[in-house]
């Protein structure tokens, strides 16, 4: 199988760990794990049949399906806003954001959706700021340090590094309590149907990967550091604390409410999204089969 992930961020640690801890191989799969930056690009690769499964941004799964593909979410990794809205030293309140430059990776990807939602919650109209596409988190941080950006949507470990530079977390969006399908696993309905045995092995390996992530801190931190190419172990530890303890669920069911929130957002540009059922974008049958067999519960006994 060719499996992808769409960002170098802590939210994607479970898929890295599943691969590096040998859990795909344990389950009889030979997986080539590749990085395809940005949810829209990742969706295009899967629609083209180049990738069989992808850890990617929820908004891109929804828009890909609305455009006529058979992409569906098979598991939820981050079912809430896990992003942090980080500002440079001189900005300590939302009122200072008007007229400022805010960095994301790509328009339509999860950080873009999150930035607009955060601005709305802070009482700022997105038209009152300039949102810039600047690629990966490390690039956004460097742009902030160079004075080219005033704020950015970031995640640990980059957030931790930013705070060491004197920057501020103006909003930790995970504390809003909103269900929003930021990231998840996606496949095509055709892959799930035609290659169900392989798809089920993949899901089994993935839930084992989540278990490994949550219960093997030291090894997980090594894998995160290696994948993100950092030797800042303080930042890596913050990543593990944030995602393993706070964000990633043991049973990674996609959130129906979280997908509905994506559809509500998409409806502003695609009116047909308002009438679409969130269940259309989800296929939890693989996860449900494993859960009902007691497999996931046994992992944590």
> What are 93-104's pLDDT values in tens digits?
999 999 999 999
Residue 110 has pLDDT above 80, yes or no: no
Band of pLDDT at residue 138, cut at 50, 70 and 90: confident
- Arithmetic mean of pLDDT, 130-147: 93
Residue 219: exposure state from Cβ atoms within 10 A (0-12, 13-18, ≥19): middle
Pick the closest to residue 183 from 250, 259, 291 (CA basis): 259
Report the chain's mean pLDDT, rounded to a whole number.
93
Residue 106 has pLDDT above 90, yes or no: no
The residue that leads in pLDDT, 130 or 265, is 130
Band of pLDDT at residue 129, cut at 50, 70 and 90: very high
Band of pLDDT at residue 136, cut at 50, 70 and 90: confident
> What are 29-83's pLDDT values in tens digits?
999 999 998 878 888 898 888 999 999 988 889 989 998 999 999 999 999 888 8
How are strands ordered across the β-sheet holding 151-154? 130-133, 101-104, 151-154, 84-87, 168-172
The domains of the chain, with CATH numbers, are 2-80+179-299 (3.40.190.10), 84-176 (3.40.190.10)
């Amino acid at each position: 199988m060719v499996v992808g992930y769409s960002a170098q961020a802590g939210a994607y640690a479970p898929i890295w760990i599943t691969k590096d801890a040998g859990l795909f191989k344990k389950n009889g799969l030979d997986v080539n794990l590749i990085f395809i930056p940005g949810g829209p690009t990742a969706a295009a690769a899967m629609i083209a049949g180049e990738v069989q499964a992808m850890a990617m941004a929820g908004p891109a799964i929804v828009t890909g399906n609305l455009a006529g593909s058979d992409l569906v979410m098979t598991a939820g990794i981050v079912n809430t806003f896990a992003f942090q809205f980080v500002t440079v030293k001189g900005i300590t309140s939302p009122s200072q954001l008007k007229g400022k430059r805010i960095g994301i990776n790509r328009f339509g990807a999860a950080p873009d959706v999150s930035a607009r939602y955060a601005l709305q919650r802070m009482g700022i109209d997105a038209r009152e700021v300039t949102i810039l596409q600047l690629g990966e988190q490390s690039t956004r941080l460097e742009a902030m340090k160079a004075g080219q950006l005033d704020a950015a949507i970031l995640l640990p470990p980059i957030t931790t590094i930013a705070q060491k530079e004197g920057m501020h977390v103006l909003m930790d969006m995970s504390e809003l309590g909103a269900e929003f399908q930021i990231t998840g696993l996606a496949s095509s309905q055709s892959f799930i149907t035609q290659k169900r045995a392989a798809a089920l092995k993949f899901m089994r390996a993935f839930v084992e990967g989540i278990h490994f992530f949550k219960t093997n801190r030291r090894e997980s931190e090594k894998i995160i550091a290696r994948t993100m190419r950092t030797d800042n172990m303080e930042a890596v530890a913050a990543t593990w604390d944030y995602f393993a303890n706070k964000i990633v669920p043991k049973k990674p069911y996609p959130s129906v409410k979280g997908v509905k929130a994506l559809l509500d957002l998409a409806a502003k540009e695609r009116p047909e999204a308002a009438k679409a059922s969130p269940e259309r974008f989800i296929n939890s049958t693989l996860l449900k089969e494993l859960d009902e067999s007691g497999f996931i519960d046994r992992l944590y006994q």
